[in-house]
Amino acid sequence: MWVIRFFEEKVDEYFAKGMIHGTTHLAIGQEASAAGVCALLDVEDKITSTHRGHGHCIAKGATADKMMAELFGRTTGYCKGKGGSMHIADVDMGNLGANGIVAGGIPLAVGSALTAHMKKLNYVTVCFFGDGATNEGSFHEAVNLASIWKLPVIFVCENNQYGMSSPVKEMVNVDNLATRAQAYGIPGVVADGNDMIEMMNVTDEAIKRARRGEGPTFIEAKTYRWKGHSKSDTKKYRTLEEEKEWMRKDPIKRFKNDLMKAGFLTKEKAEKLQEEAKKVIEDAVKFADESPMPTLDDLLTDVYA
């Protein structure tokens, strides 16, 4: 979680400096959902991600240096600098790709789960998406199909309370988005998306259910993004009081305190882990900054249309 947090803080810094171009969507404050879910996955298991997907990628095993190089537009990045922030994929680690289209990864995840089902493979596919994606037609079509065929897919909705600038409560007429799972005859679980342990527990049960051939689970992780929707978002649609309230629920501090109270972590060890995570990100920036830019000869490579 610290690696994810420091990675995104550094990305925010370098966008402000004009050293990273395009746009970015940060998930600072949402680290427990990515880390908690992916902690239970094997390398063979798959994920699909979103435009707010740096955390998913890191949690699934991606290295920070190749990710940072991708954002810097360098040839050493995961997609040789051509995917950028919203389109990082790491197929070797089971990350089938981030997606700039809202709900775009949901049918892909169901397709991946269908492959596992038809070929009798034992991997599961986790599909990350935001609250806004549950209003897209592709969400309902994909969940319905996964339910009918009992496919090994886990739908993880990171409900960070806003679809761009629109509050969830104004977009959906139910208190919990997980309620929608009832329409497709699958379990709908509401979880505290800022609680690492709770996220691991609900994910564990969903994975076991999928591997037993019992079909999908819908997990709604209630969380909050500390930053705006993207780098140009001034967040005028929410209050400072609301932001401070959610920041007090910082998932990293919460998990650290839980581990310390349980005797699994000392203050010294926690500080060491934090410094190690910072060093990983500093090294990643150095690697990216020293990596070569693409040349004109690279312009049409890896283009399939």
Per residue in 123-142, pLDDT tens? 999 999 999 999 999 999 99
Quickly list DSSP for 156-199.
Answer: EEEE-SEETTEEHHHH-SSS-GGGGGGGGTS-EEEEETT-HHHH
| Among 229, 248, 254, 304, the one annotated catalytic | 229
**Residue type, position 57, single letter:** C
Mean pLDDT, rounded, for 30-45: 98
In a domain, 298, yes or no: no
pLDDT at 305 over 80: no
CATH number at residue 26: 3.40.50.970
The single-letter DSSP state of residue 262 is T
CA distance 196 to 44: 22
pLDDT confidence of residue 233: 87
CA distance 136 to 128: 14
| Among 211, 237, 248, 254, the one annotated catalytic | 237
Active-site residue, 5 included? no
Phi-psi region of 98 (alpha: psi -120 to 50; beta: other; left: phi over 0): beta
In a domain, 56, yes or no: yes
Q: Which domain holds residue 129?
A: 2-289
In a domain, 294, yes or no: no
Active-site residue, 51 included? no
Query: Among 59, 1, 6, which Cα is nearest to 284's?
Result: 6
In a domain, 302, yes or no: no
**Residue type, position 42, single letter:** D
Mean pLDDT, rounded, for 18-47: 95
Mean pLDDT check: name the lowest of 21-25, 65-69, 291-295: 21-25
pTM of the prediction?
Answer: 0.96
pLDDT confidence of residue 23: 87
Q: Do 110 and 146 form a contact (C-beta atoms < 8 A)?
A: yes
Identify the burial level of 53 via C-beta atoms within 10 angstroms of its C-beta, where 0-12 means exposed, 13-18 middle and 19 or more buried: buried
pLDDT confidence of residue 50: 97
| Among 224, 225, 238, 304, the one annotated catalytic | 225
The single-letter DSSP state of residue 95 is B
| Cα four-point dihedral sign 110, 67, 281, 246 | negative
At 68-124, the pLDDT tens digits run 999 999 999 999 999 999 999 999 999 999 999 999 999 999 999 999 999 999 999
E runs forming strands in 1-152: 46-48, 125-130
Mean pLDDT of the chain: 96
pLDDT confidence of residue 191: 98
In a domain, 305, yes or no: no
pLDDT at 218 over 90: yes
At 142-184, the pLDDT tens digits run 999 999 999 999 999 999 999 999 999 999 999 999 999 999 9
- For residue 80 the two structure tokens come to 């040789």
Active-site residue, 229 included? yes
In a domain, 147, yes or no: yes
Mean pLDDT, rounded, for 39-62: 97
In a domain, 14, yes or no: yes
Mean pLDDT, rounded, for 227-248: 93
Q: What percent of the chain has pLDDT over 90?
A: 93
pLDDT confidence of residue 38: 98
In a domain, 48, yes or no: yes
**Residue type, position 128, single letter:** F
Number of domains within the chain: 1
At 282-298, the pLDDT tens digits run 999 999 999 999 999 99
Mean pLDDT, rounded, for 269-277: 97
